[in-house]
């Protein structure tokens, strides 16, 4: 019998990826999706992704990202608003971050302002 905790973070790695932008593909414009997206190409525009996003090692996003869960292996030049954020050792973020949970692996790069909030607590409202 499994026990589930409502406060358990969303595990993006265990979710089927329905949207993929491959290496070599370049998209200009905003992307909105209810399901998880993986970006290995370049997106110049904002991402509003309901469930979560993975920015692959070759991935580059030039725009703001809003999502529940975000894992970054590549580069993001823009602001991030996410419940859970992981910046992997190959990842780089240049911009402001607002999150509940943050994990930066050794070697990961972050340049910008950080706002950490607790669930149910709204800052700057």
Distance CA 58, CA 54 (A): 11
7 assigned to some structural domain: no
- Give the integer Cα–Cα distance in Å for 72 and 41: 13
CB-facing half-sphere around the CA of 83: CA atoms within 13 A: 16
* Contact by Cβ (8 Å): 65, 82: yes
Backbone angles phi, psi at 12, to 5 degrees: -65, -30
Q: pLDDT at residue 77 above 50?
A: yes
48 within some domain: yes
- Asked if pLDDT for residue 117 goes beyond 90, the answer is no
Within a domain: 111:
no
Q: Is residue 26 part of a domain?
A: yes
| pLDDT-derived band at 20, boundaries 50, 70, 90 | confident
Residue 27 belongs to a domain: yes
Task: Classify each residue of 32-44 as buried b or exposed e, where b means 16 or more C-beta atoms within 10 Å of its C-beta.
Answer: ebeebbbbbbbbe
Domain interval for residue 24:
13-104
Instruction: Give the total number of structural domains in the chain.
Output: 1
Does the residue 120 lie in any domain? no
The mean pLDDT of 19-35, rounded to a whole number, is: 94
Strand partners, 55: 39, 72
On whether residue 71 sits in a domain, the answer given is yes
Residue 92: inside a domain:
yes
């Amino acid at each position: 019998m499994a026990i589930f905790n409502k406060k358990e973070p969303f595990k993006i790695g265990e979710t089927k990826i329905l949207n993929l932008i491959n290496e070599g593909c370049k998209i200009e414009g905003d992307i909105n999706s209810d399901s998880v997206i993986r970006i290995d190409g370049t997106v110049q525009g904002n991402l509003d992704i309901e469930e979560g996003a993975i920015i692959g090692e070759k991935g580059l996003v030039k725009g703001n990202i809003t999502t529940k869960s975000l894992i970054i292996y590549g580069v993001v030049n823009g602001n991030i608003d996410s419940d859970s954020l992981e910046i992997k050792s190959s990842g780089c973020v240049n911009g402001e971050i607002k999150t509940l949970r943050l994990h930066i692996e050794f070697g990961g790069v972050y340049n910008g302002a950080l706002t950490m909030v607790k669930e149910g607590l709204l800052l700057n409202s």
